[in-house]
């Protein structure tokens, strides 16, 4: 049987010559689905049984509200699992997204288990009505999303008409991700999330005391369109139920997230790279659509001075890749220019340099091992 290889001309996988796992192409697969699962522990057991003998690493979480999966493996194994899942009517319509792995597995091991919350959110999400489609944001296809973005840009370029006219009210573009994800790439016109971690997001929920940091504070909840996006769509689906409960009416989300948009529509309106939660960390748009001609340098130059800046010296960073602070007790994820990496010994600030628990500066794209592996070492 011929092996499957990634076809860069079409950004998809096809059968190639040869065989055997030794020369197999690896890919990363992501999908999620909100659906009632009455016996999630039993569901986990079924998946574990199927994956016996399949070379799959990654995170696959299941609970009463559905499934959330990001994993890597040889293409045949990775797609076989997705195909098996779609044979179940509950999951037959899931959007399975694939991208090439850089060098074998993108995850160190497989974590397939029951998890109370499918996404990390303070207070959990079990109380949220994510199973009710009417409580989630309306889905926009990548083409529809592009049209909305272009229409929004046109409104900015046209003179303002009668004040208070709903027809001319510009929609709000809401980035529902971590702040450090925005730093490496985002849609033009989106504001940086007010917190570094999605877990603590409170946009649309703020009191008068912190209103200056809330993009949705004081917004007309009944007439303002809110366009939400994240990497794959699940965080928008979850957070839109919170906003819906707070009275926001016109909520829209990008179906399949940024990764789906880049593959379907290219990089129009997108600036920079896409942060991903695996060993690849940061991917250029061409990873999803090889027909793109992406000039990151010129796009950075045309964007505001907040984008792609070194966390320490604020100079522009053209290598859009994060690193963890070398101080074991800090571990901040940040962007740094090459000069500051050397001067600060891989740390994020002068205080961290003084720590007695510093990991060595890692060259190139290497990543530190898990925190607990360094915890008891004499560094």
Active-site positions read: 230
Bridge pairing between strands 322-324 and 26-34:
unpaired
For the chain, the C-alpha Rg in angstroms (whole number) is 22
Residue 338 makes CB contacts below 8 A (sequence gap 6+) with 319
The residues near 219 (Cβ < 8 Å, ≥ 6 apart) are 172, 226, 248
Backbone conformation region of residue 269, classed left if phi is above 0, alpha if psi is from -120 to 50, else beta: left
β-partners of residue 12 are 7
Distances from the Cα of 139 to the Cαs of 156, 216, 228, in angstroms? 24, 20, 10
Tokens matching residue 246: 């707070």
Gap between the Cα atoms of 370 and 8, Å rounded: 33
Residue partners of 84: CB distance under 8 A and separation at least 6: 50
Distance CA 378, CA 308 (A): 35
- Of the candidates 259, 245, 258, the one whose C-alpha atom is nearest the C-alpha of residue 136 is 245
3-state SS assignment for residue 290:
coil
Q: Any long-range contacts for 119-127 (C-beta under 8 Å, 24+ apart)?
A: 119/68, 119/198, 119/234, 119/235, 119/238, 120/197, 120/198, 120/199, 121/198, 121/199, 121/201, 121/238, 121/239, 122/199, 122/200, 125/65, 125/238, 126/63, 126/64, 126/65
């Amino acid at each position: 049987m011929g092996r499957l290889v990634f076809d860069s001309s079409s950004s998809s996988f096809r059968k190639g010559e040869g065989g055997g796992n030794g020369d197999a192409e690896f890919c990363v697969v992501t999908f999620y689905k909100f659906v009632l699962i009455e016996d999630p522990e039993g569901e986990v057991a079924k998946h574990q049984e199927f994956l016996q003998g399949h070379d799959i690493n990654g995170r696959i979480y299941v609970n009463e509200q559905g499934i959330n999966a990001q994993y890597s493996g040889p293409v045949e194994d990775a797609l076989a699992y997705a195909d098996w899942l779609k044979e179940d009517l509950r999951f037959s319509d899931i959007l399975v997204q694939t991208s090439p792995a850089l060098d074998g597995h993108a995850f160190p091991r497989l974590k397939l288990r029951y998890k109370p919350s499918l996404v990390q959110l303070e207070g959990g999400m079990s109380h949220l009505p994510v199973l009710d489609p009417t409580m989630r944001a309306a889905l926009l296809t990548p083409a529809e999303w592009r049209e909305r973005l272009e229409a929004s840009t046109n409104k900015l370029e046209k003179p303002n008409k009668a004040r208070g006219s709903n027809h001319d009210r510009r929609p709000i573009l809401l980035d529902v991700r971590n702040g450090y994800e925005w730093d490496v790439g985002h849609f033009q016109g989106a504001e940086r999330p007010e917190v570094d971690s999605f877990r603590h997001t409170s946009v649309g929920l703020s009191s008068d005391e912190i209103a200056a940091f809330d993009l949705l504070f004081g917004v007309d909840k009944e007439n303002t369109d809110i366009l939400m996006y994240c990497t794959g769509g699940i965080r928008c689906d979850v957070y839109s139920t919170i906003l819906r409960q707070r009275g926001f009416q016109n909520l829209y989300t990008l179906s399949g997230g940024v990764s789906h948009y880049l593959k379907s529509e290219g990089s129009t309106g997108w600036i920079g790279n896409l942060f991903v939660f695996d060993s690849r960390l940061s991917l250029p748009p061409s990873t999803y659509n090889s027909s793109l001609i992406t000039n990151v340098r010129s796009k950075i130059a045309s964007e505001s001075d907040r984008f792609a800046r070194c966390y320490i010296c604020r100079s522009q960073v053209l290598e859009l890749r994060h690193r963890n602070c070398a101080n074991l007790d800090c571990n901040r994820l940040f962007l740094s220019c090459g000069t500051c990496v050397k001067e600060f010994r891989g740390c994020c600030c002068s205080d961290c340099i003084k720590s007695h628990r510093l990991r060595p500066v890692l060259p190139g794209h290497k990543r530190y091992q898990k925190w607990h592996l360094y915890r008891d070492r004499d560094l």
